Amino acid sequence: MIRLEDVCYAYDGVPVLRHVDCTIAKGEAVALSGPNGAGKSTLLRMLNGLIYPELGRYLFKGTEITAARMREHRYAKSFHQQVGFVWQNPDIQLFCGSVAEELAFGPEQMGLPAEEIERRVEDALELAGITHLRERAPYTLSGGEKKKTAIASILTMNPAVWTLDEPLSALDEASQQWLIEFLLALKQAGKTLIFSTHDAGLTRQLADKEIRLDAAHLCTIRS
Ligand SMILES: Nc1ncnc2c1ncn2[C@@H]1O[C@H](COP(=O)(O)OP(=O)(O)OP(=O)(O)O)[C@@H](O)[C@H]1O
Ligand SMILES: [Mg+2]
């Protein structure tokens, strides 16, 4: 489903991703590990079509993801419906006037009928345990509540691929447990999961394989 071929990326000439090479199959759960600054968030941005390899190729279902490809409105729209991104900092992700609007935004963009949108929003509110927050403005929420809202807003789009940057950050123990169960259920449902984490426990519980971005920026894979 996802193929990175010898991918290199640099910020202002400073290399961050060097010769990353890996394949991620449909339904696989993949942990991205490595020290601070290793390039995990950078790799997630690339997988979401927000930045592009400077050398090498990123193939999504056989299509090379390039700036030109993502400028094609129809392709970009379909791509973003298939690949969901839960940012580490939910403030970047949330922009609507209320939690309910936030959850409805994705399926509205997909052009789903109003009844279906309503059903998805209700289901996601309930699943995330945030029904009581539905009319609240996202900026008034606590960090953990924002995180759950961000996750629920991806859930209403039901993407095949979920990418998550440090998904456990900002969550208390009970919410972390909830999220682990949630991610296990997504995996059970056949979704592809790619997440960065410093939490070896999460990797152990959830990941089929680990891609470690180490100091040498080489991609090593443990199955
Ligand atoms: N927009 C940017 N401009 C310049 N440098 C950047 C930019 N974004 C990231 N970097 C640098 O690229 C390197 C990799 O950053 P990245 O955020 O991908 O690391 P990370 O593995 O996610 O780290 P962490 O564990 O701290 O989240 C870091 O040295 C960072 O300072
Ligand atoms: Mg990061």
- pLDDT value for 214: 78
Q: Is 79 helix (H, G, I), strand (E, B) or coil?
A: helix
Q: How far is the CA of 17 from the centre of ligand 2 (A)?
A: 13
The response to whether residue 29 sits with its C-beta less than 6 Å from ligand 1 reads: no
Q: Best mutation site among 7, 36, 47, 213 for ligand 1, i.e. most ligand atoms within 8 A of its Cβ? A: 36
Q: Which domains does the chain have, with CATH numbers?
A: 2-222 (3.40.50.300)
**Type of residue numbered 156:** T
Determine the 3-state secondary structure of 148 from DSSP: helix
pLDDT at 170: 86
- Residue 92, phi-psi category: left (phi > 0), alpha (psi -120 to 50), beta (remainder): alpha
Strands 14-24, 192-196: pairing is unpaired
The token pair at 68 is 């030109």
pTM of the predicted model as reported, rounded to 2 decimal places: 0.94
CA distance 39 to 32: 9
CA–CA gap between residue 153 and residue 163 (Å, rounded): 13
Residues of the chain with pLDDT under 50: 217, 219-223
Q: How far apart are CA 177 and CA 193, in angstroms?
A: 17
pLDDT at 215: 60
